[in-house]
Amino acid sequence: MTRGRLSNGTLRSLPAAVSVPAFDRDRVAPGIVHLGVGAFHRAHQAAYVDACLAGGETGWGIIGVSLRSPDTRDALAPQDGLYTLAVRESAGEQLQVVGSILSLLVAPEDPDAVLTALTDPRTRIVTLTITEKAYLRAADGSLDETHPDIVHDLGNPGSPKTAHGFLAEALARRRAAGTQPFTVLCCDNLPANGATLHKLLVEFAKLRDARLARQGDAELARHVANEVAFPSSMVDRIVPATTDADRARIAGELGLEDAWPVMTEPFCQWVIEDRFPTGRPAWEKFGVTMVEDVGPFEDMKLRLLNGAHSSLAYLGLLSGHATVDRAFADPSIRRFVDALWAEAVPTLPQAAGLDTAAYTAELAERFSNTALAHRTAQIANDGSQKLPQRIVASALARLDAGLLPEHLSLAVAAWIAACAARGGTLPEGHFTDPLDAALRDIFARNLPTAEMTTAVFDLAGLAKGHPQRQTLIEVVATHLVHLREGGPALALGALGIGGERGKTE
């Protein structure tokens, strides 16, 4: 039976086994604004900042901003921003109450409050976890100037909707006030994420400058290009969606209600390029790796962890496996993942000193964690935005080296097959993709497999302009024929991966 709700006032009533913030929250000042305050941020960056605050660096509290939904604010505001981080492994669970988020804002409800936080001189870093699709890129990687939200932000700079609009308007106001620009730290799974966001924001600022030139201010693009730091970073921690059963279990452990606890694994990694002109927390004291070049770490994570995750998601769904650990326990899928890693490893920078054998061994242990129950449907979301850097980049690198990417291309085929299966063998809405409407139109045309594969590649901009594009399409189409005729068993069997199938749920 619970005794109320988690909050500053109830912290002292928690059981001794639950870790609580080891600092006086009333003495913490905001120094970071985070855009996209979802579960991953609360399991990752907010936990690292919590450790810094406990170490005495009290000028780095977080103001969290939701760009769309009020759900996180509505759950955590009555709890003074506190929430439980449940670190789960097969052997048990450890609970920690995180106190680094000082307040939460909802951008659509109060854009002025968000801009006030961003222009506060105490704000020296802006971090982002807004998912790949929220960067609003066109198929060629440039800013999608035609996106309705971009069009809105260019016409309404004082009331933006997108991360681009908020960052640009805040930087313009800081520049006008003589306040140094904040550092922009992207924490999403984009290739060279800092450089990518820098390029997109310069493009947005140029469009904004063109609109405002008649008002005598057309200098923001140059300011963003030359004066604002965009270090790249690599983030890694598995964070399944919280279920009602999780909430009930956590409430029983705390003796208090927590509207939105976060589930995660013991492993946590953050690698950051060390470029922060206005200062940063001493993250390196708490496990963060500060480097000159994050690229090799990022490539390893995207191609080995994220690539395997997406593959497990689509093959798992097609095989009836609801969670990653169950998909990975399927002998055929496990052998497929090992073979996919064997294809992807040679595409990584060989001179970077990466220990890929140790990394994949650790991934295998993480994927086997039965306590997380990381749902394959959650990972399957937004495949058209994720596969280019997770799978397609490795596949093209192999083709450039004169090698066929058989297992990597099966991952792409499994994505197409899983998308097509929704409303049939998979429930409608089981997972979503930004291209769903157009994908449904393609599937409804009942095209021959090769034509359908080409149409999907065209739609998603996969391998666009690459000389090996047609070869990749042909290999993917071959796997897709097998998936359509006999499911994963036939497709994996065609690669010589047989064995007893794991039971489905």
195: its two tokens: 């450089």
Is the predicted pLDDT of residue 504 greater than 80, yes or no?
no
Predicted local confidence at residue 498, as pLDDT: 66
Is the predicted pLDDT of residue 9 greater than 50, yes or no?
yes
pLDDT band at 2 (very low <50, low <70, confident <90, very high): low
Strand pairing of 61-66 and 101-106? parallel
Q: What is the rounded CA–CA span in Å between residue 408 and residue 386? A: 14
Predicted confidence (pLDDT) per residue in 406-427, tens digit: 999 999 999 999 999 998 889 8
Mean pLDDT of 470-494: 97
How far is CA 310 from each of CA 157, 260, 382, 411, rounded to the nearest angstrom?
37, 26, 10, 8
SS3 395: helix
Kind plus residue range of the DSSP H or E element containing 123: none
pLDDT band at 505 (very low <50, low <70, confident <90, very high): very low
Predicted confidence (pLDDT) per residue in 82-128, tens digit: 999 999 998 889 999 999 999 999 999 999 999 999 999 999 999 99
Predicted confidence (pLDDT) per residue in 15-68, tens digit: 999 999 999 999 999 999 999 999 999 999 999 999 999 999 999 999 999 999
Is the predicted pLDDT of residue 503 greater than 50, yes or no?
no
479: its two tokens: 């796997």
Alpha carbon distance, N-terminus to C-terminus of the chain: 32
Reading phi first (left if > 0) and then psi (alpha if -120 to 50, else beta), residue 142 is in beta
Mean pLDDT of 480-502: 85
Predicted local confidence at residue 102, as pLDDT: 98
Predicted local confidence at residue 215, as pLDDT: 54
Predicted local confidence at residue 1, as pLDDT: 55
The mean pLDDT value of the chain amounts to 94
SS3 124: coil
The dihedral through the CA atoms of 72, 38, 142, 472 has a sign that is negative
pLDDT band at 217 (very low <50, low <70, confident <90, very high): low
Predicted confidence (pLDDT) per residue in 185-210, tens digit: 999 998 899 999 999 999 999 999 98
Partners of residue 375 on adjacent β-strands: 323
380: exposed, middle or buried (Cβ count in 10 Å: 0-12, 13-18, 19+): buried
SS (H, E, C) 431-448: CCCCCHHHHHHHHHCCCC
Predicted local confidence at residue 463, as pLDDT: 96
> Do the Cβ atoms of 101 and 80 come closer than 8 Å?
no
User: Rounded to the nearest 10 degrees, what angle do helices 307-319 and 469-494 cross at?
Assistant: 50
Predicted confidence (pLDDT) per residue in 372-384, tens digit: 999 999 999 999 9
Is the predicted pLDDT of residue 428 greater than 90, yes or no?
no
Q: Model pTM greater than 0.75?
A: yes
Mean pLDDT of 72-83: 98
How far is CA 249 from each of CA 72, 96, 244, rounded to the nearest angstrom?
20, 14, 9
Long-range pairs, 246-255, Cβ under 8 A, ≥24: 246/86, 250/84, 250/86, 250/95, 251/2, 252/2, 253/15, 253/18, 253/95, 254/2, 254/6, 254/14, 254/15, 254/18, 254/84, 254/95, 255/1, 255/2, 255/3, 255/13, 255/14, 255/15
How many Cα atoms occupy the beta-carbon half-sphere of 271 within 13 Å? 16
Please give the torsion angle defined by the CA atoms of residues 295, 301, 303 and 309, in that order, rounded to the nearest 10 degrees.
-160
Mean pLDDT of 358-369: 96
Nearest Cα to 129, choosing from 195, 51, 190? Answer: 190
Q: What is the rounded CA–CA span in Å between residue 40 and residue 336? A: 28
Predicted local confidence at residue 3, as pLDDT: 75
Angle, alpha carbons 96-98-99 (nearest 5°): 145
How far is CA 91 from each of CA 147, 252, 360, rounded to the nearest angstrom?
47, 19, 21
